Structure formats: C-alpha cells, structure tokens
Amino acid sequence: MENKFFTSRMMFVLTAIIVAAVMRLIPHWPNFTPVAAIAIFGGAYINRKALAFILPIAAMLISDLIIGFHSTMVAVYLGMMAAVGIGMLLRNRVKAGNVAIASVSSSLIFFLITNFAAWYTGLMPYSRDFAGLLQAYAAGIPFFNSGLVGDLFYSTVIFGSFYLVSRRVPSMIQG
C-alpha cells in the first residue's frame, strides 16, 4: 500500500514550512519573514484543509516557544490563518499575478488585524477612540512596509522554487 501523504509535493511543502520556522529565529528586519508566504503556499498546495492550517500554525508555535509569547498572539495567529485562507483561494489558479495579489492581501489583512489588536488591548499608549486607532495604524506603517516586502520576496522565492522544481520533478504537480 503506497503512502499518499509523503509525496514529493508534501515533502517540499513540509521542508519549506520548517525553513520558515527556522528563519524566524535568525535576526531579520521586523516582520521580514517567510511565515505569511508559507501560510499562503500551504493554503494553495496542501490538499487537506486541516493540515493547510495546522502546519504553518505549528511552525509559528514552535518558533514562538523559543522567541517568546506576547499579549497579541491571538491576532498574529488569526492573521496567519487568514493567509492560509487566501492561499486556498489560489488553488488551481497559481500564477505570478495571483500570488502577488495574495501576498499584498495577506500583508494588509495581517496589518489590520494586529494593529487593531495592539490598540484594542491597550498594549500601546493610544487613546481608546477612533483617533487612537488611527494613531495605532499610522505607527504600524513601517512594520507593514517591511512585512509587505518580505511577503512579496518570500512568496516569489517559495512559489518560484516550487514552479522550477515541479518542472524537473513533474510528480510535484500532483497532490
């Protein structure tokens, strides 16, 4: 009986997710990590929906055990789950333009969720009104810029690598 889980495609996905977890531990620009790109990639290429969410979240959790936790972790994980969902929308439509749109969308959603959480929890000294919320979003723009560049860069690397490898190993295309 052949094992349908450990296909060449799944091994590529698992390796990419492990690399993403390790990359969070290496010094980097704020938010310039491959985690969102991996979440999008997992959503696009992991056929089992539950695993598409579990594997990128597990990579985050493992690296967070080393990095440490903070009060807005739930928002960060929600942002990553949104990225997986965006990746699922890419299924059977993976093209460079669609990947770029998915990356930008994921970055924007992550920015909106996490900065709202920072404002809502009172983690930062913003007033508890609409002006304070806008101030929280304005303060997060440099992190958004870095995250967006990172998401676009790593999505290009990960999806591009998968495309190039699948040209050499056609079995990667089958899930």
Mean pLDDT of the chain: 88
| pLDDT for 32 beyond 70 | yes
Q: Is residue 85 part of a domain?
A: yes
Mean pLDDT for 103-121 is 95
Domain count across the chain = 1
Kindly state whether residue 166 falls inside one of the protein's structural domains: no
Burial 38-74 (b: 16+ CB within 10 A, else e): bbbbbbbbbeeeebbbebbbebbebbbeeeeeeebee
170, part of any domain: no
pLDDT class for 151, splitting at 50, 70, 90? very high
Of all residues in the chain, what percent carry a pLDDT higher than 90? 54
Is the pLDDT higher at 29 or at 128? 128
Q: Which of 20-29, 47-56, 166-175: highest mean pLDDT?
A: 47-56
68 within a domain of the structure (yes/no): yes
Considering the domain boundaries, does residue 12 fall inside one? yes
**Is the confidence at residue 175, as pLDDT, over 60?**
no
Q: What is the pLDDT of residue 17?
A: 78
- Assess if residue 88 is contained within a domain: yes
Counting every residue written for the chain, the total comes to: 175
What would the mean pLDDT of 140-163 be, rounded to a whole number? 93
- Tell me, yes or no, whether 167 lies in a domain: no
Residue among 119, 121, 84 at smallest CA distance from 102: 84
E-strand spans in the chain? none
Is pLDDT of 2 > 60? no
Quick one: pLDDT at residue 5?
64
Report the pLDDT value the prediction gives residue 85, as an integer from 0 to 100.
97
Could you tell me which residues come within 8 angstroms of residue 4 by beta carbon, excluding any fewer than 6 positions away?
Answer: none
Range of the domain at 25: 8-160
- The single-letter code of the amino acid at 87 is G
E-assigned strand segments in 15-147:
none
Q: What is the CATH number of the domain that holds 56?
A: 1.10.1760
- What is the model's pLDDT at position 41? 92
C-alpha triplet 151, 143, 12: angle, nearest 5°: 25
In the predicted structure, residue 1 carries a pLDDT above the cut 50: no
Rounded to whole angstroms, how far apart are CA atoms 166 and 174?
A: 10
Residue 1 maps to a domain: no
